[in-house]
Structure 1
Amino acid sequence: MQTSPPRQPTLDEVAARAGVSRTAASRVINNLPYVSEAKRAAVEQAVRELGYVPNPTARALAGRRVGSVVLALSSDQPGLFADPFFAEVTVGISSFLEQTELELVLLLADTARGKERLRRLLGSRRADGVVLMAVHGDDPLVRLAEQTELPVVFGGLPLTGTPRWYVDPDNRGGARSAVEHLVRGGRRTIAMITGQPDLQAAVAREQGFREALTLAGLSPAALAPGGFTQAGGEAAMARLLTERPDLDAVFAANDGMALGALRALRRHGRRVPEDVAVIGFDDLGEARYADPPLTTVHQPVRALGHELARVLLAAIEGQDPSPLILPTRLTVRASAP
């Protein structure tokens, strides 16, 4: 009587025996990085106990390079690339990738359809890695990034959790330096135009604003949301002037809102900086040509893109690069001398 060959154990059985996810088991078996030592040891033990033999074709596919990386933005705003911040970051990423054979693919992933496209792309391994930016609140893209076998580098921290790889400016410290400058200049009634509350950058900048005032023995004069847009900044400044006509300074969480604030102040007959000092955050090209030129927190936006690409390439090559917090500094101009 002929006996059938013994059934080979499956990857799912290895994962179950090791007490890890199928993705983690696959990473260990294919000798890929970003798996903890404890999980790696558990999977290796399960492989030995079960006698699991990897499929050579699957291993070859796992090690194959596609030749592209994805810049995924959790935003579908029509004016996204009119915002010089994202344009500068993209230039930084692209200029670094010119030194490699990797191509850059842009994917807008704010809508359900966009997120599904990214999920399919990651699941089919049609990219070597991902830079993920503009992550809002409890964005499902964060969970998607945790589940993929591909390396993912975050441009800016998500609102919850700390990913393995990220590059972020010192949002909190930069905001604190802006308010400290206003206090040193004798300003005491200081308001803030805040960004989108579901973005970590906006939250961190508000924290820095509050910390600096607390250390100076002051309280916020008022806060008004501006949504990180010029129109939002202009409307927020108008509301602040109605709520606190005695304010003598305003910190805006980005340059666009600060430029809108300058327009509103001019429309209401307030002199800058004599009546109200204004400080922004970013130090993009428009800041130096504002009327008056804008004092702002400088963050190295193009360098941010460059570092995102560098960290991602290191991860793709099997290294474990350290996350980065890039320094910021205050650039003093006429709006808040």
Structure 2
Amino acid sequence: MARFDGEHSAPTLEDVARIAGVSRATVSRVVNGGTLVAAKTTEAVRAAINEIGYHPNRAARALVTRRTGAIAVIVPETDERVFTDPYFPQAYHGALQAFAGSDVQVVLAMAQPGDSASRMVRYLESGHVDGAIIVSHHGPELAMALAHSWQPVVFVGDPEAPGVCYVDLDNTAAARMATRHLISRGCRSIGTITGPLDMASARSRLAGFEDAMAEAGLDSSLRVEGGYTARSGETVTELLERCPGLDGLFVANDLMAVTAMGVVQRSGRRVPEDVKIVGFDDAAIGLQCHPQLTTMTNPADEHTRTAAEMLIELLAGESPENPRMMRPSRLVVRGSA
């Protein structure tokens, strides 16, 4: 461990940081009673403080302690998606769990998909929050802007920008598994309703569908773009018109899948006898339809809780051991397939 050289008239925050082997910001958090510092790091900082006899400047401390004590969960989505898709309440709950027992407030901040990246960066750097978790985003612009920001941020979902921490589901592998399941049940004329293709998750799920179809020597061109909303599940009508013999359907989320199932059934086709359907997300709505929906898991609360744990490390001046974490999905087989 480095030692204080004694050249200063009094030990400084920088001296403590050098001896403890951490950043100046981390020492500042420990000195000012911050809760978002790992116990091992706190112990090292306190040992360095005792070793060199550091005493914080009271005036400087008063300025530094103007922390908000708040973390934002930012959702750049429309009101319709946030208030109708169960994914988002689950995601917010995961963040709350991560900060349970601390004095940190977790606030939900909504931004419209069309809002400029610079506007969100200004909000994050305005001093209202100490850091943020971004849940759902459209395109890499926001992540690229935040990559150059001093504000600690973690994404849920691949931000498509280097140097930004994130937690994501292996959407391609999950969609491949879902499509293979339909193929294994005898489906050959399989269509898909994608999510909005300006989102990495939607493109990855489409890629997994295409992989499995190509692997089986099947045509993967029967597709239509949806919006991850219940209403966009009605686009299955287009698929049925293009392919009256449709016998399998992979839908990129459960909200769309349940709506699509209703449309298929009202067309006179039976599920699963005539058309087998697999959704995505393992949402509760999939248990409320008949037959119940076969789906892929996507535990939003676990992903956001992990993102929050990464954020805590960033706020403590540390680097997450795995800053780009990819989680697996599993198939839940029910009556629709």
Q: Please name the residue that 1:275 is paired with.
A: 274
Give the SS at the match of 1:147.
coil
The structural deviation recorded for 1:298 is: 1.0
Contact 2:23 2:317 in 1 (8 A): no
CA separation of 1:103 and 1:175: change in aligned 2, threshold 3 A = same
CA separation of 1:224 and 1:121: change in aligned 2, threshold 3 A = closer
- For residue 285 of structure 1, what is the amino acid of its counterpart? A
The structural deviation recorded for 1:99 is: 2.8
The structural deviation recorded for 1:115 is: 5.5
Q: Please name the residue that 1:215 is paired with.
A: 215
1:140-179 alignment, distance < 5 Å: 141-158=142-159, 160-179=160-179
Q: Please name the residue that 1:120 is paired with.
A: 122
Contact 2:91 2:135 in 1 (8 A): no
1:312-331 alignment, distance < 5 Å: 312-321=311-320, 322=322, 323-331=324-332
C-alpha distance in 2 between matches for 1:118 and 1:335: 41
C-alpha distance in 2 between matches for 1:57 and 1:122: 26
1:296-311 alignment, distance < 5 Å: 296-311=295-310
1:22-101 alignment, distance < 5 Å: 30=24, 65-101=67-103
Contact 2:136 2:156 in 1 (8 A): yes
1:108 to 98, 110, 116: 110
1:222-301 alignment, distance < 5 Å: 222-234=222-234, 236-301=235-300
- For residue 71 of structure 1, what is the amino acid of its counterpart? V
Q: Please name the residue that 2:199 is paired with.
A: 199
CA separation of 1:247 and 1:221: change in aligned 2, threshold 3 A = farther
Give the SS at the match of 1:180.
helix
TM-score in terms of structure 2 length = 0.78
Q: Please name the residue that 1:20 is paired with.
A: none
Cα deviation digits, residues 273-303 of structure 1 (max 9, x gap): 1100000000011112211100000122221
CA separation of 1:30 and 1:57: change in aligned 2, threshold 3 A = farther
Contact 2:169 2:298 in 1 (8 A): yes
Gaps of 5+ in 1: 1-27, 34-55
The structural deviation recorded for 1:186 is: 1.2
The structural deviation recorded for 1:147 is: 2.4
Q: Please name the residue that 1:22 is paired with.
A: none
Contact 1:157 1:163 in 2 (8 A): no
Give the SS at the match of 2:280.
strand
Cα deviation digits, residues 60-91 of structure 1 (max 9, x gap): 85686431111111123244122100111111
RMSD (Å) for aligned C-alpha atoms: 2.6
C-alpha distance in 2 between matches for 1:113 and 1:174: 30
Cα deviation digits, residues 245-272 of structure 1 (max 9, x gap): 1111000000011011101101100000
Cα deviation digits, residues 80-118 of structure 1 (max 9, x gap): 122100111111111221132211122222267686663
C-alpha distance in 1 between matches for 2:65 and 2:149: 15
The structural deviation recorded for 1:152 is: 0.6
TM-score in terms of structure 1 length = 0.78
Q: Please name the residue that 1:332 is paired with.
A: 333
C-alpha distance in 2 between matches for 1:146 and 1:63: 25
C-alpha distance in 2 between matches for 1:210 and 1:99: 45
CA separation of 1:231 and 1:78: change in aligned 2, threshold 3 A = closer
C-alpha distance in 2 between matches for 1:163 and 1:264: 43
- For residue 82 of structure 2, what is the amino acid of its counterpart? L
The structural deviation recorded for 1:30 is: 4.6
Contact 1:170 1:328 in 2 (8 A): yes
The structural deviation recorded for 1:163 is: 4.2
C-alpha distance in 2 between matches for 1:301 and 1:276: 29
CA separation of 1:163 and 1:29: change in aligned 2, threshold 3 A = closer
CA separation of 1:29 and 1:280: change in aligned 2, threshold 3 A = closer
Contact 2:294 2:334 in 1 (8 A): yes
- For residue 236 of structure 2, what is the amino acid of its counterpart? M
Contact 1:30 1:63 in 2 (8 A): no
Cα deviation digits, residues 179-203 of structure 1 (max 9, x gap): 1111111111111001101011000
CA separation of 1:244 and 1:110: change in aligned 2, threshold 3 A = same
- For residue 149 of structure 2, what is the amino acid of its counterpart? T
C-alpha distance in 1 between matches for 2:60 and 2:105: 24
Gaps of 5+ in 2: 1-21, 28-57
Aligned length: 285
Contact 2:121 2:146 in 1 (8 A): no
